[in-house]
Structure 1
Amino acid sequence: MVSVIITTHNRCNLLDRAIQSVLNQIYKDFELIVVADGCTDGTDSLMKKYESEKRIQYIHYSPAKGGNYARNKGAQNSRGEFIAFLDDDDEWLPEKLELQVAKIREDPECVLVYTGIRVVYVNECIEYSSIPKANGDLSKVLLFNNIIGSTSTPLIKKSVLDNSGLFDEQLGALQDYDLWLRISEFGKVLVIPKEMVNYYNYTTGKQVSAITDRYVDAIAYINKKYSRRINNLSPEEKVIKESCDYYLLANKAMRNNNKKLSRSYFIKALRVRFRLKYLIYYVFTFTSYRTLLKFRRYI
Structure 2
Amino acid sequence: MNTNTPSVSVVMPVFNGANSLATAIDSILAQTFSDFELILVDDGSTDFTLEIIKGYVAQDERVRGFTMPHSGVAAAANAGLSKVRARLIARMDADDYSMPERLAQQVAYMHGHPEIGILGTRVEFGGNRETAAGYARYVDWTNTLLEPEELRLRRFQEAPFAHPSTMYRTELVERFGGYKTGNLPEDYELWLRWMSLGIKAAKLPSTLVVWNDPPDRLSRTGEQCTTDNFYKMKSPYLADWLHNNVSPDRSIYVIGASKTSRNRALLLEQSGVVITGWIDVDPNKIGNIVNGKRVAGREILDQEHCFAVAYLAGHDANDQLEEFLKTKGYTLGRDYILAS
TM-score under structure 1 length normalisation: 0.73
Residues 179-258 of structure 1 aligned to structure 2 (within 5 Å): 179-184=190-195, 185-203=197-215, 211=223, 214-224=226-236, 227-234=239-246, 239=254
Partner of 1:167: 179
The one-letter code matched in structure 1 to 2:317 is Y
SS in 2 for 1:45: helix
| Displacement of 1:145 | 2.9
The one-letter code matched in structure 2 to 1:163 is R
**Counterpart Cα distance in 1 of 2:87 and 2:237:** 28
SS in 2 for 1:169: coil
Partner of 1:61: 68
**Counterpart Cα distance in 2 of 1:223 and 1:6:** 29
| Displacement of 1:11 | 1.3
| Displacement of 1:220 | 1.1
Contact 1:142 1:181 in 2 (8 A): yes
The one-letter code matched in structure 2 to 1:215 is T
What are the superposed Cα offsets for residues 204-236 of structure 1, whole Å, 9 maximum, x if unpaired?
Answer: 7xxx89849833123213313553224345479
Contact 1:90 1:200 in 2 (8 A): yes
The one-letter code matched in structure 2 to 1:121 is G
| Displacement of 1:105 | 1.1
CA, structure 1 residues 237+141, in 2 after alignment: closer, same or farther (shift >3 Å)? farther
SS in 1 for 2:114: coil
**Counterpart Cα distance in 2 of 1:12 and 1:68:** 19
| Displacement of 1:104 | 0.9
1:113 aligns with 2:119: yes
Aligned length: 253
Larger radius of gyration between Structure 1 and Structure 2: 2
| Displacement of 1:107 | 1.8
| Displacement of 1:173 | 3.7
What are the superposed Cα offsets for residues 166-200 of structure 1, whole Å, 9 maximum, x if unpaired?
Answer: 11112x34211111112223433222112111011
1:134 aligns with 2:146: yes
The one-letter code matched in structure 2 to 1:72 is N
What are the superposed Cα offsets for residues 86-129 of structure 1, whole Å, 9 maximum, x if unpaired?
Answer: 11100100000100111111122111211000012159688787
What are the superposed Cα offsets for residues 142-164 of structure 1, whole Å, 9 maximum, x if unpaired?
Answer: 123322x2220111011122112
Gaps in structure 1 of 5+ consecutive residues: 250-266, 281-299
Residues 78-117 of structure 1 aligned to structure 2 (within 5 Å): 78-117=84-123
Partner of 1:278: 317
The one-letter code matched in structure 2 to 1:165 is G
| Displacement of 1:36 | 0.5
Higher relative contact order (CA 8 A, sep 6+): 1
Contact 2:146 2:205 in 1 (8 A): no
**Counterpart Cα distance in 2 of 1:53 and 1:165:** 30
Contact 2:185 2:225 in 1 (8 A): no
Percent identity for Structure 1 against Structure 2: 24
Contact 1:120 1:199 in 2 (8 A): yes
CA, structure 1 residues 227+79, in 2 after alignment: closer, same or farther (shift >3 Å)? same
Higher helix share: 1
Gaps in structure 2 of 5+ consecutive residues: 1-6, 265-281, 283-309, 320-340
TM-score under structure 2 length normalisation: 0.64
Partner of 1:52: 59
- Cα-Cα RMSD: 3.6
SS in 2 for 1:152: helix
What are the superposed Cα offsets for residues 241-291 of structure 1, whole Å, 9 maximum, x if unpaired?
Answer: 999x97xx9xxxxxxxxxxxxxxxxx9xxx9559881399xxxxxxxxxxx
Contact 2:99 2:209 in 1 (8 A): yes
